[in-house]
Amino acid sequence: MSDDLKFHDLSSRHYGLTQAIADSYAEAATVCLDRHHSPDVDFVVEDNGTTSSASASWPAPVDARTKAAWNNVTDTTEFGAYGIALAAVEHTRGLVAISRAETRTGADYYIDNPDKPIDDLETSFRLEVSGMESGADAAIRARLKTKIEQTKKGASNLPALACVVAFHALKISAADAK
């Protein structure tokens, strides 16, 4: 039995997400998952070499209107990956989104402990997220390496974490940028 990957209702726990943004991430993730799987599924979650699993559930099937609204595979995969990655970081590290990152920081979000002051990013991590509609383990590892390198080139001195969400493979791979 695995733990739940709580990608629904992220805004109740992640200060850096409004309800509208969190709902769109969850909806996109649901569309991505529904393309390949039926509920419930278990993701393999790798974080700095430690492997666990997390169960994802969603109401199925996704209706035609929702599929039409998310008909762009690139955008849907990107937005869905944000939701799943933020849920995974919360699941594995207890960290939540506190703010969207600025352009050129090499990341998408600032994440930190939920009890940290939101106006002080000094102890935060940068989180870079990437989604993959499909891909084998080698492609997932290569994408993670690329995203780690992207964080290193970012205009920020904060530590960084990269996370790749592979929907078809049901795999989440994360690693610190060192």
In this prediction, residue 132 has a pLDDT band, given cuts at 50, 70 and 90, of very high
- Predicted confidence at residue 119, as pLDDT, reads 80
Is the pLDDT at 2 greater than 60, yes or no?
no
- Predicted confidence at residue 84, as pLDDT, reads 98
Is the pLDDT at 68 greater than 60, yes or no?
yes
Q: How far apart are CA 62 and CA 175, in angstroms?
A: 32
Q: Which pTM value belongs to this model?
A: 0.96
Interval 25-63: pLDDT, tens: 999 999 999 999 999 999 999 999 999 999 999 988 999
Axis-axis angle for helices 73-93, 19-36 (nearest 10)? 110
Is the pLDDT at 142 greater than 90, yes or no?
yes
Strand partners, 3: 54
In this prediction, residue 178 has a pLDDT band, given cuts at 50, 70 and 90, of confident
Round the CA-based radius of gyration of the chain to a whole number and report it: 15
Q: How far apart are CA 43 and CA 171, in angstroms?
A: 5
Alpha helices, DSSP H, located in 45-177: 64-69, 73-93, 137-152
Is the pLDDT at 96 greater than 90, yes or no?
yes
Q: What total number of domains does the chain contain?
A: 1
Range of the domain at 158: 3-176
Rounded mean pLDDT, 89-108: 96
Following CA atoms 75, 79, 84, 86 in sequence, which dihedral angle do they give, to the nearest 10 degrees? 140
